[in-house]
């Protein structure tokens, strides 16, 4: 099913149906697909609810199918395109290796880590960044409503990709300034996102590695879907970089799924397997995050549910919060 949806996004079928129903022949011509084979794909995707078939032989988007348009408000097209790529698919096919050894399957299949592979393959990096933007888009509104970012003067989004979540924070809280931090080739794609949200003038974009140093002196450091990518040792190293950079009154905010508090356990446990396969990371419980944070010099203050699959984990420099 995931491959069928992936192919639909790659062909742009939901985009082709954005303005209304179209015939199979029109879809085949516009997407460059074989008509009879496309008919079989559309039949399958109609059964799973992406499209609806009218009696006159045309197809139209359903509400679900509309979410796979590239320009949909909560588009998940980037994620569907990413998970169906052969380099991702092949790694997941080696799940057994990860279960037997505890190693990430990606490195075994491709001979290098996910991060090195993305660095060496710009098209894969672009797909990955699109997928991360889709994940951010899916939770951003709920996160900014669930947590009061307005208490901070400056928020640094560490590993923030193209800035989808930070843009939502700055748009919701006009008194807050932002710093978007990620690898230089990743943040290079941030300008359209920040401009579209009307927050470019309040957001500085900085490239670098969070294993080395990050912008210093902000009130809050935000990391969404960063720590779950990494094993414990690397996670602690990233958190220690944050600790060195923040003042005594600062706050660390991790946006992650929690195994023991997830409102969508199915999503979270399979995300945990994905972390294992792709990068050797893991989803964690609240107590596991408490231990990681303590090892990096933080105390866990509280967890804040967002109404989605993620929570906001708030931490403060150890022994320095009321």
- pLDDT tens track for 244-290: 999 999 999 999 999 999 999 999 999 999 999 999 999 999 999 99
* Per-residue tokens: 96: 């057994």
Please report which confidence band the pLDDT of residue 321 belongs to, taking 50, 70 and 90 as the band edges: very low
The reply to whether 249 belongs to the active site is: no
Q: How far is CA 234 from CA 146, 156, 238, 241, 284, in A?
A: 29, 20, 6, 11, 15
Under DSSP, the state recorded for 201 is G
* 41 in a structural domain: yes
| DSSP 3-state of 165 | helix
Same domain for 284 and 224, yes or no, is yes
* 94 in a structural domain: yes
Same domain for 228 and 257, yes or no, is yes
CATH number for the domain harbouring residue 62: 1.10.10.10
Q: How far is CA 128 from the centre of its chain?
A: 9
Mean pLDDT (the chain, rounded): 95
Q: What is the pLDDT of residues 46-102, one digit of tens each?
A: 999 999 998 788 999 999 999 999 999 889 999 999 999 999 999 999 999 999 999
pLDDT at res. 57: 85
Cβ atoms of 117 and 87 closer than 8 Å: yes
* 228 in a structural domain: yes
pLDDT at res. 219: 95
Q: How far is CA 45 from the centre of its chain?
A: 25
Q: How many domains does the chain have?
A: 2
Choosing from 97, 191, 228, 249, the catalytic residue is 228
| DSSP 3-state of 310 | coil
* 322 in a structural domain: no
Same domain for 96 and 57, yes or no, is no
> pTM, whole model, 2 decimals?
0.91
Same domain for 86 and 200, yes or no, is yes
Same domain for 279 and 193, yes or no, is yes
Last residue of a domain, one of 72, 91, 124: 72
* 262 in a structural domain: yes
Same domain for 133 and 220, yes or no, is yes
Same domain for 51 and 117, yes or no, is no
CATH number for the domain harbouring residue 263: 3.40.50.150
Last residue of a domain, one of 72, 103, 122: 72
pLDDT of 320 > 60? The answer is: no
Same domain for 68 and 98, yes or no, is no
pLDDT at res. 322: 41
Same domain for 51 and 198, yes or no, is no
Instruction: Look up the domain containing 271 and give its range.
Output: 81-317
For the chain, give the percent of residues with pLDDT over 70.
99
Same domain for 164 and 194, yes or no, is yes
Strands across the sheet with 177-182, in order? 203-207, 177-182, 154-158, 220-224, 251-256, 311-317, 298-305
* 303 in a structural domain: yes
Cα 255 from Cα 78, distance rounded (Å) = 20
* 139 in a structural domain: yes
Q: For residue 178, give every residue at least 6 positions away whose Cβ sits within 8 Å of its Cβ, in sequence order, or none.
A: 154, 155, 156, 157, 163, 166, 169, 170, 199, 202, 203, 204
Same domain for 67 and 216, yes or no, is no
Last residue of a domain, one of 54, 72, 90: 72
Same domain for 121 and 240, yes or no, is yes
* 49 in a structural domain: yes
Q: How far is CA 70 from the centre of its chain?
A: 16
């Amino acid at each position: 099913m995931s491959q069928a949806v992936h192919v639909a996004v790659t062909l742009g079928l939901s985009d082709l149906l954005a303005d209304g129903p179209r015939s199979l022949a029109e879809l085949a011509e516009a997407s460059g697909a074989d008509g009879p084979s496309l008919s079989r794909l559309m039949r399958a995707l109609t059964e799973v609810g992406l499209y609806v078939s009218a009696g006159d032989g045309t197809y139209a988007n359903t509400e679900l199918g509309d979410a796979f348009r590239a320009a949909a408000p909560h588009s998940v097209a980037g994620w569907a395109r990413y998970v169906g790529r052969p380099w991702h698919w092949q790694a997941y096919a080696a799940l057994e290796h990860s279960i037997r050894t505890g190693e990430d399957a990606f490195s075994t299949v491709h001979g290098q880590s996910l991060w090195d592979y993305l660095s060496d393959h710009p098209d894969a990096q672009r797909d990955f960044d699109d997928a991360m933007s889709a994940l951010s888009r899916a939770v951003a509104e709920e996160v900014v409503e669930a947590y009061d970012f307005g208490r901070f003067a400056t928020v640094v989004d560490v590993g923030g990709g193209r800035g989808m979540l930070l843009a939502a924070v700055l748009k919701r809280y006009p008194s807050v300034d932002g710093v978007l931090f990620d690898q230089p080739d990743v943040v290079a794609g941030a300008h359209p996102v920040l401009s579209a949200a009307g927050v470019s003038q309040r957001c500085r974009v900085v490239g670098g590695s969070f294993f080395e140093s990050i912008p210093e002196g902000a009130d809050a450091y935000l990391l969404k879907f960063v720590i779950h990518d990494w094993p414990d040792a690397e996670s602690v190293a990233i958190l220690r970089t944050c600790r060195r950079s923040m003042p005594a009154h600062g706050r660390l905010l991790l946006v992650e799924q929690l195994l023991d508090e997830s409102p969508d356990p199915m999503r979270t446990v399979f995300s945990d397997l994905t972390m294992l396969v792709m990068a050797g990371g893991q989803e964690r419980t609240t107590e596991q995050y408490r231990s990681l944070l303590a090892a990096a010099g933080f105390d866990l203050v509280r967890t804040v549910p967002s109404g989605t699959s993620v929570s906001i984990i708030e931490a403060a420099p150890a022994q320095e919060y009321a």
